[in-house]
Structure 1
Amino acid sequence: MGRVLRWHSDRMDDFAGTQAPLRRLTDPTEAIAALELAVPGMVSLRRASPAVVDWPVLEAGLGIALPVDYKLLCELYPPFVIGGFLGVGTPEPGGETGWVQATREELETIAEWCEEANLVVPLHPFPTPGGLLSWAASPQGDFFLWSTHPTDPQEWTVTVASRSSAWWHYTGGVVQFMAEYAAGVLEPWALPQVRPEAEAW
């Protein structure tokens, strides 16, 4: 996956820092290949044929377009869990409205976390410009979030909000994040290191 740049602040109780991939994978197919390489069991979970998710309906309900790497992931895979920890609840065909509703409900929790966090640079939930939007969670209550970009979803990055109140950023997309997390390339910062295995959720 490459070298990871790290920076630690002196406020480790709140903000652990930012990690960056050596090269951001902008091609969604390349990002999926990196995830399948890092988590070999992913291949066995692939759908027989890509799901036909009604993205226009889903994105209209959400009020914003989603990154292409995530949309390809959802089309190729059903909901899954990596290492028994990182759970990705992908939208299913016909369930787009329910997925939007659940995502919007999570924004209330994210708003509470943002208010309680003692961060030097305050964070806010979507739909604030650049606001946070959930894409995965752990059974222990950790949130994996997008830091949205107001005009280009391909510029979205990852923010981790752990149940231990540590926050940190990763300047790549969600699929590349999962690949590097599972491969042990990332410093997990307040998260457990996960096993490179996947199972259907």
Structure 2
Amino acid sequence: MRLYSMPSSGNSYKVRLLLALLGRAVEMVDCEYGSARLGEVKPSLPYGKLPVLELDDGTMLAESDAILWFLGEGTGFVPADPVARAQMLGWMFWEQYNHEPVVAVRAALLCYPDRAALATPDRMAELLERGHAVLQVMEDRLAGRDWLVGDDVTLADICLYAYTHTGGERGGFNMARFPAIGRWLGRIAALPGYVGLDD
């Protein structure tokens, strides 16, 4: 398999992380934001964005959470119980619809120089307030439990870890407000095979 990945992107990282946790070999094609490489491959990518997993037969799978589902199917990262599976998917949908558009967007406005003009004080303040509210939803869920769904790590945890674990450093969120999230981040970082965003 070949993974077209943007190294700085949480959406690409979540796929790299799951591959590492599963011990799956993959050829990595780094296409960092703004690079010539990204411009070269972009026309061949479904939806024109990363990450994309190219299978051995040439099939291209796009959208990070769809790739997670493909890789996770038949592993311990997908619960056997149908209700738990639906709950896991619910968190994954919530990540793309509620979490990523706030937590990841604020980080992108701070980290990518060509987006600096969009980082107006009002916009950043709005994203900070909304991001803290989103993180509070996770904090409430993780209070008194180890994982988002069931008694073990699932794709939901891998999915939401990607942008949450850099929320303070890259997004400027006050992560000290969320001790249950902090403990959960530590549990994921301790999983066998774990790799960090910059590994």
Same fold (TM over 0.5): no
Q: Which has the higher contact order (CA 8 A, sep 6+)?
A: 1
Higher percent of residues as helix: 2
Higher Rg of the two aligned structures? 2
Q: If the length of structure 2 is used for normalisation, what is the TM-score?
A: 0.28
Higher percent of residues as strand: 1
Q: If the length of structure 1 is used for normalisation, what is the TM-score?
A: 0.28
